[in-house]
Structure 1
Amino acid sequence: MNEDHEGVVVYWRPGCVFCMKLRLGLRLTRLRYTEVDIRRDPRAAAFVRSVADGDETVPTVTVAGRAMVNPSKKQVLRAVAAHAPHLLPNRA
């Protein structure tokens, strides 16, 4: 599992429509983040269960170590602005 306590990590699994929507939306923002497929990483799946009441609810996103279960793109960007503003793409 990528234990990135400074950056953004998107935990996802293949076939998840909500994951595809969030990942595409975040790519369009040019925000730098790491993706972790919980089907390929048992530790990541265990982490997701630990923050999602025992379920493997994805997408789960961490921003500077703070977990959010099934957030919208807007919620992720707000969390980045609040907890890791240095990661926001330059909007110049």
Structure 2
Amino acid sequence: MAAERRGASIARPEVTVYTRPGCPYCFLLRRGLRRYGVPFTEVDIWRDPPAAAAVRAVADGNETVPTVEVGGRWLVNPRARRIRDLVPSSGGRGGVDSALEQTGARPGEAGEERPQSWRGIEDRRR
């Protein structure tokens, strides 16, 4: 705690996103993490059998993606905001960018165009 008060940086937990090609939910999660400034490593479970086994171990035997590991904690199909909340901000990174903070908008509401193919997915979540 004293180190925090002196301004020492806090180590961020490593974020690993387990995905597979063509997964629209993985696309949305990666986009959200980039918007929030959360650095992550992506692992394709179709190319990495041990990674696929790790995902099955935490997802009741299923290869559910995206599955995310944040500093040893596993989350199955989380939202980017949940991951952002688990990763402490340091040096101004890891939080919502200033434009979104000023408007109070959430990612996906800042007026940007989305590919037509993704609109149906977002509509079903509402």
TM-score (norm 2): 0.60
**50, 57, 65: which one aligns with 1:58:** 65
Distance 1:53 1:88, change over 3 A: farther
Structure exhibiting the larger radius of gyration computed from Cα positions:
2
- Counterpart residue number, 1:89: 93
Q: How far apart, in 1, do the equivalents of 2:85 and 2:40 lie?
A: 15
Deviation at residue 40 of structure 1 after TM alignment: 0.6
For 1:36 and 1:55, locate their aligned partners in 2 and report how far apart those are by CA, in whole Å.
16
| 8 Å contact from structure 1 (residues 12, 38) kept in 2 | yes
Q: Which runs of 5+ in 2 are unaligned?
A: 1-12, 99-126
Structure 1 stretches lacking a partner, 5+ long: 1-5
Structure of higher RCO (CA pairs closer than 8 Å, 6+ residues apart): 1
The structure carrying a bigger strand percent of its residues is 1
Percent identical among aligned pairs is 51
TM-score, normalised with respect to structure 1:
0.81
